[in-house]
Amino acid sequence: MGGYILRRVLSTLPVLAIVAVLVFLMLRLTPSDPAAIIAGDYASPEQIEGIRERLGLNEPILKQFIIWISGVLQGDFGESFFYKKQVAELIGERLEPTLSLSVITILLVVLVAVPLGIIAAHNHGTWIDRFVMGFSVLGFSIPVFVVGYILIYVFAVTLDWLPVQGYQRIREGVGGWLLRLILPAMTLSLVFIAFIARMTRTSVLEVLNEDYIRTARAKGQTEIKVLIRHALANAAVPILTIIGLTVAILIGGVVVTESVYTLPGLGLLTVDAVLARDYPTIQAVILLFSFAYVLINLLVDVAYTFLDPRIRY
Amino acid sequence: MATIDAAPPVPRRRSVWSTVLRNPSVLFGGSIALFMLIIAILAPVLGTRDPAEINPSARNQKPGYTAMVRDDEGKRIQVKYHLGTDSLGRDIYSRVIYGARVSLIVGITVAIIAVFIGLIIGMIAGYVRWLDGIIMRFMDGLMAIPEILLAIALVSLSRAGLPAVVIAIVIPQIPRVVRLVRSVVLSIREEPYVESAITVGTPTPTLLFRHVLPNTTAPLIVQGTFICASAILVEAILSFLGIGIPPEVPTWGNIMAEGRTYFRILPHNILYPGIALALAVLAINMLGDGLRDTLDPRFAKRF
């Protein structure tokens, strides 16, 4: 198993390298001149040339890449054109809202979607099943921001139960922090609940036809135990795969949700950076999110070996 | 005397399309999608006002508001704003109707371009062995960047406009098509009829076009439908975030972005384009589900 994990870890390295090259090239392929953007509207050509020299933009592209990537590996993403400070520092400030939102969303998804899928599979073919499936098709099609505004309208504007927008840092009080994240997390989780409930239902249904389920029932095991200990345990691998793969959609959803609820996280930073054509920040955020995506899928793959001892590579 | 048994009656071969058209998802999703297409085409007839027309005296009005405006000849006529107006006094109803045009154009264009480019790259990857590794590692890298983020990064590279948005949405979709085509090519290569075609000396282009290409049609129609739905969604997201198609163009995302400021008092600016968007995405996804179940049963088990 150790050998497999090592090989799996090593196999992500080329992907990460290609992502880094792609993200780097994207910035270099822009028609606009970064030096001119940094210098501002009133700079002389000499000043622009000076900045270009300082940033190493006159170097050959391969050398520029090496300079950039060695900076990135040391946590130095360069200086933001727009905020005029280190991108790494900027990201540090914006990390908390994004992480909070993602963690609460994933918890919500797992707590709601998996039971929903099991219930649907258990009541296969009944109205409960059809209701869960219908809800999942619907949840999959309503865009995140539409969900967000509907929830705001119902819970914040009409009922006035929850705050509309904004964020409170966790050290300023856990209650206020959680209160402001309820609506964003509900918004973001809907599409995943739909997706994962559907996937759980399919996986559990497949497992429910197996002989060992019949055996478990025959020996008088309670249905709850059959569903959780036998069915879910065996259906866990495909469910986990889907959770890993949907992280990409989660990241996209984070950007939109933060924008709807004005949460000052990495998603909002991305949008602001694009509006300001702040390329170092765009580069850093894309790189960070992609690495997170690859690493989460790596963790998922490694988790398989623990969840399903039959998997041997 | 030998009796000749009557040959068993040859079962009438039903065409694929008649099976497809019996599928409830295809029927339901397809009808809604067709309905949207008709709305988009007939937008100039159905729209009551010019979608870009600004009427300062009718700003931020609720649905059903009526006002007197001067028509082209200067006569005063009564106009009903069925779905209210936005903060510039533009008619939401007409803008939503015209928005269907932009969304469908983006969805269909993206699907066609992504499928076409993906098909070419996928066939090369599946057929030219030494290029396979390079192409697929590159595609893995592209796929490791979350779709919406890649689109966001790509729109930042050039001036906002319809072509830039289409390209930004196409690129993240290409690897998915490439993977699909490549996997079909790889499985077809092993088929006995392809091996025999190779043995009798069929030239590679003929082999690709006559034997490989037809096998990719069904999965690509299915994939193209899903890409279309996804593209409509991503376009709306980009416009909503204010980084997509320029704000004066009536797109569903732009109408919603505009409606954000007064959302508390005038939720209809977000609600109606939102319903239109959700309905379009739902319909096209259902169409895709139905097509996958009927055209491409091999892939039906995959989620």
Does residue B303 carry a pLDDT above 50? no
- Average pLDDT of chain B to the nearest whole number: 81
**B144/A15 touch (CB, cutoff 8 Å), yes or no:** yes
With 0-12 / 13-18 / 19 or more C-beta atoms within 10 angstroms meaning exposed / middle / buried, residue A58 is: exposed
Handedness of CA A17, A289, B277, A117 (dihedral sign): positive
Does residue B232 carry a pLDDT above 90? yes
Identify all chain B residues contacting A271, using CB atoms and an 8 Å cutoff. 152, 241-243
Q: Ranked by mean pLDDT, which of A295-309, B54-68, B223-237 comes out on top?
A: B223-237
Domains of chain A, with CATH numbers? 17-73 (no CATH), 93-307 (1.10.3720.10)
- Tokens at residue B19, please? 């099976």
Does residue B108 carry a pLDDT above 80? yes
pLDDT at A274 (0 to 100): 84
**Band (A192; pLDDT cuts 50, 70, 90):** confident
Does residue B4 carry a pLDDT above 70? no
CB contact at 8 A, A287 and A23:
yes
C-alpha to C-alpha distances, A257 to A184, A263, A278, B140, B250, nearest whole angstrom: 6, 8, 21, 27, 23
Chain B closest-CA separation from residue A212 CA (Å)? 23
ipTM score here?
Answer: 0.82
Closest CA to A27 of B144, B152, B158, B157: B157
Report angle CA B242, B243, B247 to the nearest 5 degrees: 55
* Minimum Cα–Cα distance from A271: chain B residue: B241
pLDDT at B300 (0 to 100): 47
Mutation for B interface: A290, A296, A301, most B CBs within 10 A? A290
pLDDT at B196 (0 to 100): 86
Closest CA to A36 of A46, A24, A22: A46
**Band (A71; pLDDT cuts 50, 70, 90):** confident
Mutation for A interface: B36, B140, B152, B260, most A CBs within 10 A? B152
Q: How far apart are CA B219 and CA B298, in angstroms?
A: 9
- Tokens at residue A223, please? 């249905």
With b for 16 or more beta-carbon neighbours within 10 A and e for fewer, the A136-168 pattern comes to: beebbbbbbbbbbbbbbbebbeeeeebbbeebb
CB contact at 8 A, A287 and A27:
no
H or E element that contains A243: helix A233-245
pLDDT at A138 (0 to 100): 79
Q: How far apart are CA A290 and CA A292, in angstroms?
A: 5
pLDDT at B113 (0 to 100): 96
Across residues B228-243, what is the average pLDDT? 90
Residues A148-168 have pLDDT tens digits of 888 888 887 777 777 777 777
Which of A110-124, A152-166, B127-141 comes out lowest in average pLDDT?
A152-166
Cβ pairs bridging A and B (under 8 Å): 135
Which of A112-116, A141-145, A304-308, B266-270 comes out lowest in average pLDDT?
A304-308
Identify all chain A residues contacting B274, using CB atoms and an 8 Å cutoff. 142-143, 145-146, 149-150
Residues B75-105 have pLDDT tens digits of 666 666 666 676 666 777 778 888 888 889 9
- Average pLDDT of chain A to the nearest whole number: 81
**B241/A259 touch (CB, cutoff 8 Å), yes or no:** yes
Q: What count of Cα atoms within 13 Å lies in the side-chain half-sphere of residue B80? A: 3
pLDDT at B8 (0 to 100): 60
Chain B closest-CA separation from residue A220 CA (Å)? 32
Identify all chain B residues contacting A294, using CB atoms and an 8 Å cutoff. 144
Whether A4 and chain B come into contact, CB under 8 Å, resolves to no
Across residues A23-44, what is the average pLDDT? 74
Does residue A255 carry a pLDDT above 50? yes
Across residues A80-84, what is the average pLDDT? 77
Cα–chain center distance at B114: 11
Does residue B156 carry a pLDDT above 90? no
Mutation for B interface: A145, A157, A203, A298, most B CBs within 10 A? A145
Across residues A125-147, what is the average pLDDT? 81
pLDDT at B105 (0 to 100): 92
pLDDT at B170 (0 to 100): 94
pLDDT at B302 (0 to 100): 42
